[in-house]
């Protein structure tokens, strides 16, 4: 009995000690006396925010909510590659220019008596003043442009023949391309068979001629590209570009 009572007394003492230790640990710390510096800091210090912290998303969650691009989504292509024309806008512009557009206009312009007298006066001064006077009259200028464009159209059409007449040098096989290609052949063809086209291209591309001949290949290539659009079989320069790309190791078509 004595042994059991001693054991219970020991357990009771240990329980009281643990309870007192817990109460000491949970008891508040003694407050620190406030100073004028603490009050001043509390006035200027930012108040703690009560807003909830933003939730962070994992990469898996972000990928699951990402929208897949559709066919009408402009983000598929970079901005500089997006077409800035409506479907028929470019065609409408081209339809108003060129010989075939002017050929549809069958109106016959009439000159006033004042315009006729002015042309007669300029004709007496010489050919150049008379031509300038003609081109200053809008109706007559349109007629002159129509005749020039008609000549250009006929010159280009004669270059597209395959069997009848003389084919263009741009119509050639790959064997001929490798053996006898020359920019001068293309330039001479323009000079002899389409001089009006050459006049326009030189006026656009070479207002000041370079003595080293660096302007010849670009002018010939521009002529070849335009004729290839008119007739797909005139593809000499395109075949040259294909050979150059193949020899250079190009493997991707763009």
User: pLDDT tens digits for 25-76?
Assistant: 444 555 555 555 555 545 544 455 555 554 544 444 444 444 444 544 444 5
Q: Which of 247, 250, 243 is nearest to 177 (CA)?
A: 243
Do 124 and 179 belong together in one domain? no
100, part of any domain? yes
Encoded tokens for 94: 């081209």
- Backbone φ and ψ for 173, nearest 5 degrees, come out as -85, 170
Please indicate, yes or no, whether residues 140 and 185 belong to a single structural domain of this protein: no
Q: How far apart are CA 223 and CA 185, in angstroms?
A: 12
**Residue-number span of the structural domain to which 183 is assigned:** 174-247
In a shared domain, residues 178 and 155: no
Cα 106 to Cα 143: distance, rounded to the nearest angstrom: 11
Specify whether 180 is located in the same domain as 243: yes
pLDDT tens figures, 142-170: 888 999 999 999 999 999 998 888 889 99
C-alpha to C-alpha distances, 134 to 130, 191, 216, nearest whole angstrom: 6, 28, 34
Say if residue 189 is in the same domain as residue 219: yes
218 within domain boundaries? yes
Q: Are 236 and 171 in contact (CB under 8 A)?
A: yes
Residue 83 lies in a domain: no
Domain termination site, one of 128, 159, 190: 159
Q: Which residue has the higher pLDDT, 117 or 192?
A: 192
Domain's final residue, options 99, 130, 159: 159
d(CA 70, CA 72): 5
**How many independent structural domains does the chain possess?**
2
User: Does residue 142 sit in the same domain as residue 102?
Assistant: yes
Q: Is residue 46 assigned to a domain? A: no
242 and 185 in one domain?
yes
Read off the tokens for 219: 């002018």
Q: Which of 98, 130, 159 is the last residue of a domain?
A: 159
Give the Cα separation of 50 and 75 in Å (integer): 39
The answer to the question of residue 66 being in a domain is no
Q: To which residue do tokens 């059409």 refer?
A: 157
- Residue 232's pLDDT band, with cuts at 50, 70 and 90, is very high
Domain contains 139: yes
Is there a domain that residue 214 lies in? yes
pTM of the model: 0.59
Alpha-carbon distance of 110 to 253, in angstroms, equals 55
Would 25 be classed as within a structural domain? no
């Amino acid at each position: 009995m004595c042994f059991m009572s001693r054991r219970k007394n020991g357990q009771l003492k240990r329980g009281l000690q643990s309870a007192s230790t817990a109460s000491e640990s949970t008891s508040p710390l003694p407050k620190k006396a406030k100073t004028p510096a603490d009050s001043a800091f509390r006035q200027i210090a930012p108040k703690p925010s009560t807003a909830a912290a933003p939730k962070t998303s994992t990469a898996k969650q972000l990928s699951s909510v990402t929208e897949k691009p559709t066919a009408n989504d402009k983000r598929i292509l970079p901005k500089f590659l997006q077409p800035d024309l409506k479907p028929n806008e470019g065609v409408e512009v081209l339809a108003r220019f060129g010989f075939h557009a002017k050929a549809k206009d069958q109106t016959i312009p009439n000159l006033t008596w004042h315009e006729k007298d002015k042309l007669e006066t300029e004709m007496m001064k010489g050919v150049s003043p008379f031509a300038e006077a003609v081109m200053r009259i809008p109706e007559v200028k349109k007629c002159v442009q129509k005749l020039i464009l008609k000549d250009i159209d006929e010159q280009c059409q004669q270059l597209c023949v395959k069997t009848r007449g003389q084919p263009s040098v741009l119509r050639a096989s790959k064997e001929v391309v490798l053996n006898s290609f020359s920019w001068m052949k293309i330039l001479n063809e323009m000079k002899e068979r389409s001089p009006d086209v050459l006049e326009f291209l030189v006026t656009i591309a070479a207002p000041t001629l370079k003595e080293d001949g660096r302007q010849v290949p670009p002018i010939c290539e521009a002529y070849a590209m335009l004729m290839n659009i008119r007739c797909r079989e005139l593809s000499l320069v395109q075949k040259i570009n294909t050979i150059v790309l193949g020899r250079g190791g190009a493997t991707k078509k763009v």
